[in-house]
Amino acid sequence: MRRQAVATEAEHVHFFLVISQSMDEIILGEDDRGHDFRVSLLLRQKSHSSGAELIALTIVIGLGLMDRAYIFALTLSHWPVIRTNLAATARD
């Protein structure tokens, strides 16, 4: 995914806007009137082996009381959705 975004200077990866990117990290996200969303995907070399690990961090900021309630409800299904999207991305 990182190679594709860097090589094509993509403005979007799948349905996310590319906020910033480097050789080790890509930050994707969207803002709307209700909440701001960011996902950071960091590729970090393991210190004790020749492999690497992918670290995913998501941040959602609700801007109002109803938005915070929505984010709470969304959190209940957050992990399965992220795992499915990461698995699909790994296959690309």
pLDDT tens by residue, 20-41: 989 899 999 988 777 788 999 9
Q: Could you tell me which residues come within 8 angstroms of residue 35 by beta carbon, excluding any fewer than 6 positions away?
A: 60, 61, 62, 63, 67, 70, 71
CB contact at 8 A, 67 and 76: no
Summary count for the chain: helices (H), strands (E):
3, 5
What is the overall mean pLDDT for the chain? 79
Enter the pTM of the model: 0.59
Share of the chain above pLDDT 90, in %: 9
CB contact at 8 A, 56 and 86: yes
Nearest to 40 by CA among 12, 62, 15, 20: 20
Nearest to 29 by CA among 12, 4, 42: 12
Q: Per the structure, how many domains does the chain have? A: 1
Q: Provide the residue range defining the domain that includes 51.
A: 2-91
